[in-house]
Amino acid sequence: MTNIVKVKTGSKYEEMGSYSRLVAVDNWIHVSNTAGRHPVTKEISSDLVEQTHQVFANIEAALAAVQASLADVVCSRVFIQNPADVPTVMGVVGEKFRGIDPASTVTCPPLGSTVYLVELEVTAYRGASSAAVTHIKIGE
Residue 16 belongs to some domain of the structure? yes
Structural domain of residue 28, as residue ranges? 4-130
Residue 30 belongs to some domain of the structure? yes
Residue 139 belongs to some domain of the structure? no
Distance (Å, rounded) from C-alpha 3 to C-alpha 139?
Answer: 41
Do 49 and 78 form a contact (C-beta atoms < 8 A)?
no
Residue 79 belongs to some domain of the structure? yes
Tens digits of residue pLDDT in 31-58:
999 999 999 999 999 999 999 999 999 9
What is the radius of gyration, based on Cα positions, of the chain? 15
Residue 140 belongs to some domain of the structure? no
Residue 12 belongs to some domain of the structure? yes
Structural domains counted in the chain = 1
Of all residues in the chain, the percent with pLDDT exceeding 90 is 92
Residue 135 belongs to some domain of the structure? no
CATH number, residue 75: 3.30.1330.40
Tens digits of residue pLDDT in 45-100:
999 999 999 999 999 999 999 999 999 999 999 999 999 999 999 999 999 999 99
Residue 18 belongs to some domain of the structure? yes
